[in-house]
Amino acid sequence: MTVNKAIKKAGDTEMDHQIRDIELSLIDMNPDNEYIFGYTDIDFLANEIKEGGFHGAIEVFAKPGGRYEINAGHRRYLACKQLGYETIPCIVSEYKDSSAAAEQLIMSNIHQRDLTPLRRARAIEYYEKNVLVKRKVDYKGRKRAALAEKFNMGEGSVQRYLSILNLIPELQELCDTKDFPWTYYIPLAKENAEVQRMVYRSLLESAPEGNIKELSRKQVEWQLDSIRLKRERKTENEKKKTEKNEVMDSADSKEEISAEPESDGFIPFGQMPDDGDGINAYTDYGASGADDGIGYYTAAGQDTDEMVVSPVEEIESLIERIKFRVSDISDISDRGTVVSMLDDLIKKIKKSWNQTERY
């Protein structure tokens, strides 16, 4: 059966967009609607309809076979179904193609709902993939501009919303609430899932009663910077160890090694002693109790891949946590003074530690 015949069967011979009652059993929901917009507050809506009656109409497409697909009004349809209605007022329009249907689905809902940041992000993504891409229009690198114009926002806002979809599920779930300060977390979208989860766990531990909604933008930035610093240290440490192993492997592969001149036991001031294998006994990775300059050291005499956190890094981590709490100080000048004092303390502790290890 053609679309026009399906419309005639419903009594809409002219498709004049007049409201008419259609049986709920003949109406299908759009399968993409739940992912984009969700089905919230159905019970509340059903109670409102029960008390005040149904007003207006839902929008549907006519489908072949005498059936219809909802374009706008999924929640009202579910509420009426919950109340046991047999029919529902509808405005019927002709189905053109998938991109036209996708565009109407988004534009019929985007301005009628108070969407959460996550739902708005999904709507933008859906429109991009199912309308702009499918129509194969050459936007000459201006696709973001086309989205910005359609959703009445700046190109930067479009990019920020789409960044939500690169966050881990735990953070996306928070972005599905209206009062969540989602823009604080957009920098996290550039990080991989491992880093995002490390930051998320740290924020939960630091937030009052685990409610990270109460944290400021600065607190979130500090936690991200702290995790980045730790990862950079770990990467640098692994790089040093790899370089050391390469040097040792190269030395073992040589058939003859030039004999080194005997030492007279004198070590010039400022030069660190060598333990005989070319590795500085105080400053190189793997040395006895030595700080490698990035906060890790190994126990004396051990040749192990396991990294042990030095006392310096433990203290530094503690101070970073104190600095994190300092953000609660309301006076900006006082807060800056305390942070500056803590930074100076870290430098003095590191200097003292290095001198202790040398002598």
Q: How remote is the C-alpha of 216 from its chain's centroid?
A: 17
57 in Cβ contact with 91 (< 8 Å): yes
Tell me which residue of 234, 322, 191 sits closest to 200, measured CA to CA. Answer: 191
Q: Give CA angle at 139 (133, 145), nearest 5°.
A: 95
Region label for 289, one of left (φ > 0), alpha (ψ between -120 and 50) or beta (otherwise): left
pLDDT for the residue 120: 95
pLDDT at position 321: 64
Element (H, E) at 91: strand 87-94
Q: Which residues contact residue 237 at a Cβ distance below 8 angstroms, ignoring those fewer than 6 apart?
A: 285, 292, 294, 296, 307
Q: What secondary structure letter does DSSP report for 84?
A: T
Query: What is the structure's pLDDT at 246?
Result: 75
Residue 32 amino acid letter = D
Domains of the chain, by residue range, sit at: 1-95, 180-247, 286-359
**Residue 50: its pLDDT value, please?**
92
pLDDT score for 326: 61
Pairwise CA distance, residues 304 & 192, whole Å: 28
CA 137 to chain centre: 30
DSSP string, 257-298: -PPPPPP-S---TTPPPB-SSS-BTTTSTTSBT---SSSEEB
**For the residues of 198-231, what is the DSSP string, one character each?**
HHHHHHHHHSGGG-GGG--HHHHHHHHHHHHHHH
Sign of the torsion angle spanned by Cα atoms 167, 173, 176, 182: negative
CA distances 15 to 1, 102, 256, 328, Å, are 17, 20, 94, 62
Decide: 119 and 109 in contact? Cβ < 8 Å.
no
Q: What's residue 13's pLDDT?
A: 37
Q: Give the Cα separation of 291 and 289 in Å (integer).
A: 7
Q: Which residue has tokens 């989860």?
A: 197
* Crossing angle of the two packed helices 117-127 and 98-110, in degrees rounded to 10: 160
Whole-prediction pTM: 0.61
Whole-angstrom distance, CA of residue 60 vs CA of residue 29: 9
The C-alpha atoms of residue 164 and residue 156 are separated, in whole angstroms, by: 13
Question: What is the per-residue pLDDT across 1-45, written as a single tens digit (0 to 9) for each?
Answer: 333 344 444 444 345 567 889 999 999 999 898 899 888 889 999
What is the CATH topology of the domain spanning 1-95? 3.90.1530
Give every residue of the chain whose pLDDT is below 70, as ranges.
1-17, 140-141, 251-314, 316-318, 320-321, 323-337, 339-340, 353, 355-359
**Of 148, 155, 141, which is closest to residue 127 (Cα–Cα)?**
148
| Identity at 28, one-letter amino acid code | D
* CA 28-34-21 angle, 5° bins: 30
